[in-house]
A and B are shown apart, each in its own frame.
Chain A
């Protein structure tokens, strides 16, 4: 619980730093897209590098480098949908869920509610209904 609260506070601070210090929305999908596809290698790359460094530094702490929850083929499909959906919807959990919601953006609130709903339904389907139909656990 405390870790969730502390982590969330850090995320909020980081988003605020980006907003006021760099005048950019801390939306990872758009920053990723910019770093990977845009002609100019702008601040997105630096932000992403920071993300990776955080992973490298803390990944060695026990229990943090958690194993994947799905098979590699499933992860590939998952990634495709996440990337496609984020571009189409112009944002992800950080862009819409944190930054947009904090600005009381109706678009972001709708987007966040939508991906929470489909995420929930997906887990329900994959983790419960499908195994049930197969006669599994």
Chain B
């Protein structure tokens, strides 16, 4: 969907998402690392955030699916292909997440805090993405689809 309405709704969506991240404490990397720190300063809140987010979203998806037309994304088949790049990619992502306590969403929200840390994270994230694309392009010509559930078409990895 394009156009002014899409832009407006996306902006609202981002604002809501960002408020949710801040309110839940997920923009504080100590809460994220704390969740992953099972042997130390364990902070369980991330699990509750994830669970309630999934609970709400899954409910909407279920409700919406009953009223969907074939063109709606919710009826698109969900790929089940578990490939190496998914696992390796997620694995690498997790290492970065555990090192800094930031993933893309919170790091971008934190740009609004006026501190240097998130700026470094976001900048480095963009570089990391660029490198991944470069390697993928070198090995073949395909780019990943925007749906995380889909296996990349013609994956070169």
- Chain A: residues with CB nearer than 8 A to chain B? 1, 3-30, 32-34, 36-37, 42-44, 46-59, 64-70, 72, 74-108, 110-112, 114-124, 126-128
- Chain B: residues with CB nearer than 8 A to chain A? 1-2, 6-30, 33, 36-40, 45-46, 48-58, 60-61, 64, 72-74, 78-82, 85-105, 107-118, 120-133, 136, 144-152, 157
Asked if B78 and A103 sit within 8 Å, CB to CB, the answer is: yes
Looking at chain A's contact residues, is the secondary structure mostly helix, strand, loop, or mixed? helix
Asked if A102 and B25 sit within 8 Å, CB to CB, the answer is: no
Chain B residue with Cβ nearest A78:
B100
User: A89 is contacted by which of B79, B93, B111 (Cβ under 8 Å)?
Assistant: B93
5 residue pairs of the A-B complex, CB under 8 angstroms, read: A36-B129, A68-B29, A84-B132, A85-B92, A99-B149
Chain A residue with Cβ nearest B7:
A46
A30 CA to B132 CA, complexed, in Å: 13
Asked if B38 and A120 sit within 8 Å, CB to CB, the answer is: yes
Chain B contacts of A6 at CB under 8 A?
A: 20, 23-24
Chain B residue with Cβ nearest A54:
B18
Asked if B19 and A54 sit within 8 Å, CB to CB, the answer is: yes
Asked if B116 and A30 sit within 8 Å, CB to CB, the answer is: no
Asked if A21 and B17 sit within 8 Å, CB to CB, the answer is: no
